[in-house]
Amino acid sequence: MDSKAATKVAQVLTEALPYIQKHADKTIVIKYGGNAMADEKLKSSFARDIVLMKQVGLNPVIVHGGGPQIGNLLERIGKSSEFIDGIRVTDSETMDVVEMVLGGLVNKEIVNLISSHGGKAVGLTGKDGQLIRARKITMPNKAAAKDTSAMIDMGQTGEVQSIDPSVVDMLDKGDFIPVIAPIGVGDDGLSYNINADTVAGNLASVLKAEKLLLLTNTAGILDKSGQLLTGLTPTQIDTLIKNQIIHGGMLPKVRCALDAVASGVKTAHIVDGRVEHSVLLELFTDEGVGTLIKG
């Protein structure tokens, strides 16, 4: 290594030091999804990031999605995916596939990736240790405009009713990395498919996490000229929404981030998961690779 390269490496390490010290023993909840879950190089870099975080004293907790993988398996068995306002309708047969994909294939792949880089990960669903209690959600039937009480049955699609973090706390204390599939159980004993962003936000709140990181397929929140915005407050976010600068698929993520910081999470970050080592860059460098939202 020549002297210029060595100096650059040293600068990176010294820049990271104050962030490592600041976040030591703090919980960081990360929603893992999008391109970062599909590209082999990005999957490997994500796993290395998580292992390094744990090694330097942070407590990462991963909540993962898996929508494309669920869709692919449904297609292979000849079953179509049905969505209403972007939310999957989950009948009992689809729920079986959701449990197989999220609780099995995807969850165990992430655990194996972390293990292959020297970490100790444990895969869970929200059903384990009564981690996530869920309730069924319904959607208004917009086609039945005259009947405001008309609702659409979303099947076993749910939302978070409550979270008991005991099992996550136990794993953290044992130096394990929890990897959580967003499946909860209802009072009726049924399994429910829950949006992963929502689970990550609720879990960050309950764990009193230092940070919530939401990995996306975008650079973050951009202004009208395409420049990245960061260091945003809830008031600034409200203005951006009113001006329709934040719209479409970014809205649910932003609202999830706002809910988290409103309930005590120090900062929420919308991170570009298409960038290698995006988690470390956002946590341990001055510039980061996403949008930071603060309370």
Give the model's pLDDT for residue 115: 97
Q: What percent of the chain has pLDDT above 90?
A: 76
The mean pLDDT of the chain is 91
pLDDT at 139: 81
Task: Say yes or no to pLDDT of 146 above 60.
Answer: no
Mean pLDDT for 3-23 is: 81
d(CA 114, CA 212): 20
Burial class (CB in 10 A: 0-12, 13-18, 19+), 124: buried
User: By the 8 A CB rule, do 181 and 125 touch?
Assistant: yes
Please state, in angstroms and rounded to a whole number, the distance separating the CA atoms of residues 249 and 143. Answer: 23
Rounded-to-integer distance, Cα 122 and Cα 174, Å: 11
As beta bridge partners, residue 136 has: 158
Reported as a single tens digit per residue, the pLDDT across 82-137 is: 888 888 999 999 999 999 999 999 999 999 999 999 999 999 999 999 999 999 99
Q: How much is the pLDDT for 286?
A: 81
**25: buried, middle or exposed (CB in 10 Å: 19+, 13-18, 0-12)?**
exposed
Q: Output the pLDDT for position 72.
A: 93
The Cα 46–Cα 109 span in angstroms is 13
Compute CA distances 270 → 38, 165, 174, whole Å.
18, 24, 29
What pLDDT, in 10s, does the model give residues 243-264? Answer: 999 988 888 889 999 999 999 9
* Residue 112 dihedral angles phi and psi, to the nearest 5°: -65, -40
For the ranges 14-23, 52-61, 137-146, 272-281, the lowest mean pLDDT is seen at 137-146
Rounded-to-integer distance, Cα 233 and Cα 231, Å: 7
The confidence score (pLDDT) of residue 149 equals: 59
Q: How confident is the model at residue 143 (pLDDT cuts 50, 70, 90)?
A: low
- Select the CATH number that applies to the domain covering 25-220+265-282 from these four: 3.40.1160.10, 3.40.605.10, 3.30.70.360, 3.40.190.10: 3.40.1160.10
In the chain, domain spans: 25-220+265-282
* Pairing verdict, β 177-181 and 59-64: parallel
Q: How confident is the model at residue 140 (pLDDT cuts 50, 70, 90)?
A: confident
What 8-state DSSP symbol labels residue 85?
T
Tell me how far apart the alpha carbons of residues 157 and 191 are, in angstroms, rounded to a whole number.
Answer: 9
Averaged pLDDT for residues 272-285: 92
CA atoms within 13 A on the CB side of 121: 27
**Residue listed under structure tokens 């609702």:** 151
pLDDT band at 26 (very low <50, low <70, confident <90, very high): very high
Partners of 152 in the beta sheet? 139
Q: Could you tell me the two tokens for 17?
A: 């030091």
Band the pLDDT of 40: cuts 50, 70, 90. Answer: very high
**Per-residue CA distances from 2 to 7, 11, 105, 283 (Å):** 9, 14, 44, 28
Going by pLDDT thresholds of 50, 70 and 90, the confidence category of residue 145 is low
Model pLDDT, residue 160 = 97
Quote the pTM value: 0.92
Give the C-alpha separation, 113 to 253, whole Å: 26
Radius of gyration of the chain (CA): 19
